[in-house]
Each structure stands twice: as structure tokens, then as C-alpha cells.
Structure 1
């Protein structure tokens, strides 16, 4: 199927939740002929008013464009919609911007290949309002498929990033970032609970917490180098020193009537590192605990 002008590739967007609507809207603003489909057709009304074409069925939606972007709940939802279509994917590039595991990405790539289509697995690390601006969106799969439609995909965000041929890489990166996000947020909320017990408002804590996050961010490049090299010099303090501070946090939490579950869990992991002979290493050696199966 012809893609017309490479910079104005016809594109189909399947799934019009808040994120799917943002994706389709961005394609439209960038001049791409855009076909949309959603189980609840009314969700397409605003997009149709902006120039999108509403397909009468998911099969019509896929057939309308060489580039098909799906943004639904998970891989099971993708297969529920597309499995019955069979060969309609032949010669097209399917981009999944939903969420799921690396196993799901691998299985979906294998399925798409059997239908004659190319597959790019993607991960959106942004909120809908950031789509078309500075949204970070990663893609993994055949480089040829990514490069063919890179101009269109870049219309979704300046943070468009190709990770490599391995289809699983986007899902893995998304899970890694989610782990980072939840750990940062849980750390902030634990601190807010501690200070709240002393009558300090979370809003007053937020600026200092932000500075702390900036400090930790500055450590990441050195930590990454240590992890990659498998050597963990104690450049600032040892795990033994961190362990003593963890005891203080546990006792402080308990004395203020705040849950100590999170710091106790962190200390339990750190105790294991010390038992493995890592007490004199830098904190980056904790990665060895995370590498172990639970």
C-alpha cells in the first residue's frame, strides 16, 4: 500500500481512551490522514470534527492505513480485536502502544509475523497532555519498520526513542521506569507520613524532597557504570553505614506511630547483602540482591 508523502503517512488509531484520543489528535494536527475506531463510536466525535475518518469496523480501520497504531488495555485486548482479522495485516506495520509484559510483546510479534505484518512494540512514558509535545515514547522491533514510519511516529512526541530490534525492550523499559516511579513516590509518601506526624505539611516537604531527588539523579550515571562493570567501590559510604541509618528510620517511624513496613523491607534486603559479604561495598552492590529470583 502506498504511504503517499512519507511525512503525511495515512495512519489508523484503534482505541480511543484518553491516550488514544491524544494520539489520533496529534496525527491529525501533523497532517496525517487519520482513521479511527473504538467500540464506543461516540468517543470519536471530536476527532471526526477535526477531520478524522471513523471506520465502521475494526477490520475497515486496519485496512485503511499502512500504519496501524493500537492503544488498548493490554495484549489480550489487542488479540481480541485483531486475531479474527487474519490477512488484513499483510504488508502493514502494527504499532502497539498499550501496556504489558515482555512475554506479551514477544508473542504478539510472532503472531503479527504469521499474519504477514511487521510489528513494533511501544511504551508511552507520558500523560495524554504531553502527546505531540515532549512525550517520551519508546519503540522496539525491526529497524526497517521504525525508520519507514519514523516521521509519523515522531509527531507523537519529541522523546521518540528507538531501542533496538528485540521486540521485548520497550515493555522491559516501561517496567523498569515504573519500578523507579513507584519507589520514588513511595519514598516521598513515607517521608510525608513521618513529617506529618510532627505536624509538617507535605507541601512544605515537597521542595526539599525535590532537591533530594535531584541529588540522587546526579548519582545515577556513576551507579550505572558500577552496575555495568560489576564493581562497587564505596565512594561515599558503605552498605554497612547505610544499614545503620536504616535502623534509625525504622525506629523513628515506630516512635511516631508511622508504618515501618517499607524501611523494614529495605533493611531486610540490605541485611542479605551484608550476609553475602557486601557490607564494605558501595550501595550500588544492592543490585546483586535485585538480580536474584524471589
Structure 2
């Protein structure tokens, strides 16, 4: 490894995200080596100064920090197994999305080799990589994160370490995306319901945005309720809110829409009411979620 004021970085995997990661390291001035399982990717990165390695081992030997970002952990492990003997003494950062359990397994594999390991989750689309607003979760050895924090922040200004447990980045990833995709479904479903009555999406959109702002305003309070286990229902209660959801289910099904997600919400609410939370606030629906039939 040649002397350079900034740590050298290798990126294994040149899908759209991998290329964006490598590009961000190049933009930040890091000597960057790239490798991809199949040919034909990375020419633009090489033109910008990246070095293309012929094998994973060659790519790993070139750098202090090794970032892997491929389709899943099976693919990541297959690549890393080919370079296992070259990894000790380097930081391995796994930005491949999967479950907390898989992240902990990967960390244990790295620990057995004597390799510093960080698991990570990229929370933004490809075009945002390298921008001040890009959020990337990291978990694992805090000392390793602290040593290379500036390097990792080349990927996004909101890079953050969420804990020593290597599975925590995946936990944060799943939690936030659970919220995001459920909300995205609700938005599209609402537009679809309006369309059954000839109301265009553009007409409903301003009110969707207003409610999105309301949703943002209750996030902190909901988190406090769930953390404390107390669900004061002095302003609203689950029985009344479940009745509102019941109306939505009927309206959607009457119009021939798939109401499976709404029915799931109603089932969880009814289950919580059956557990004695009818007079509590909406957050108490968590009991129906935690106690599936």
C-alpha cells in the first residue's frame, strides 16, 4: 500500500450503489480500487482515477478499508471467502443489506480472522450518495468507526454509528424501512381509492402532504409512549380509531381494491382492544402487533 494522506479504499461490487460508493470515495480524494464479479462495469470510475483489480484478493491487498456492497450476504460471503487471507489488518465494511442475524454471523466470521468489521445500511437512493444529507448507519467496533469516520463520511454527511452490536445497523434499517414502505403503500392506496370516484391524485396530493406533516409531528410522542409502555387515551382512544379504519376497509373493498394491509391494521387494533387497550391511545396497537394470533 502506497503512502497517501487519505486512507486507501477498495469497493467490491459495482452495481449502481457500489459504483456510487466508489465515486464518492474518489470525489473525496481517497485512492480507490474497484473489483466486480462480472466484466463491463467501472470504466467510468477508472477514467476518474480508480484502479481496477483482477481478483478480490488483489483488490483487498490494495487498501486499508474494504467496502463490500453486493446483492445479498451469500454473494458477499462468496466474494470475501476468496480474499479471506488478505483481510487481516484491514477494516471490512459490509454495506450489503440483510437481517441483523446475518450481520452478526458475518461479524463473527470476520472476528475469527482477526478482521475489524463494521456492518452498515445505506438509507438513501443512489443519486444521494456522497451528499451532506445522505444517511448511512454503521454498527460494530466503535474504535474502528472512530478511526475511519472521516473516510466513511465521504459516503454521506449523516453517517452515524448506532452501537457496538454489529446487528444494530440492520435493526435501524429494517425499522425505518418498515415505516417508509408501509407509509408509501398507504399513500398509493389513498390515491387509488380517490381514483375510483374520478378524483385525480393531483387534487388529493395537497392534503396528503398536510397529513404527512401531522404524522411527522407525532413520531416523538409515539416513541415515548412505546418506550414507557404507557398509552394515555385522554385525547383519542383505540376503539374510536379502529372504527375509522373499519370504514376504510369497507370503502376499499366495496370499490374492488385490495384492502389486505388495511385489514392487517384493523386486525392488530381489534386484538389490542381485546387485550384491554380500547380506552388507550393509538400507540397501544403495538400490543396487537406484539401478540399475533
Q: Which band: TM-score by shorter chain?
A: over 0.9
2:8 equivalent among 7, 10, 26: 10
Q: Counterpart of 1:55?
A: 53
Q: What CA deviation, in whole Å up to 9, does each residue of 1:44-99 have, x standing for no partner?
A: 11000000000111110011101000110111111101113332111111001111
Deviation digits for residues 254-276 of structure 1 (CA, Å, limit 9, x no counterpart): 33333332222211111101110
Tell me which moved more, 185-194 or 270-279. Answer: 185-194
Q: Structure 1-normalised TM-score? A: 0.95
What per-residue deviation string (whole Å, max 9, x for no partner) do you get for residues 154-197 of structure 1? 01111101101010000111111121111101111221111000
- Structure 2 partner of 1:107: 105
1:245: which partner in 2? 244
Tell me if structure 2 keeps the 8 A contact 1:9–1:67. yes
CA RMSD of aligned residues (A): 1.5
Change (3 A) 1:232 1:262: same
Q: Distance in 1 between matches of 2:3 and 2:139?
A: 21
Q: Flag the 1:29–1:250 CA change in 2: closer, same or farther, 3 A.
A: same
Aligned to 1:197: 196
Are residues 1:90 and 2:88 paired?
yes
Ranges in structure 2 where 5+ consecutive residues have no aligned partner: none
- Cα 1:202–1:216 change in 2 (3 A) is same
Alignment match, 2:258: 259
Within 1, Cα distance between the matches of 2:75 and 2:203?
Answer: 43
Which residue in 1 is equivalent to 2:30?
A: 32
Q: How does 1:116-131 map to 2 (within 5 A)?
A: 116-131=114-129
User: Within the alignment, does 1:221 sit opposite 2:204 as a pair?
Assistant: no
Per the alignment, residue 63 of structure 2 pairs with 65
Cα contact 1:2–1:66 (8 A) shared by 2: no
Correspondence 1:157 to 2:156: yes
Aligned-partner SS, 1:277: helix
Q: In the TM superposition, what whole-angstrom CA distance separates every residue of 1:137-159 from its partner, at most 9, and x where no partner exists?
A: 00000000001110100011111
For the residue of structure 2 that corresponds to 1:41, the secondary structure is: coil
| Number of positions where the alignment pairs a residue of Structure 1 with one of Structure 2 | 292
Distance between the aligned counterparts of 1:237 and 1:121, measured in 2?
Answer: 41
The TM-score, its normalising length taken from structure 2, stands at 0.96
Bigger CA drift: 224-233 or 248-257?
248-257
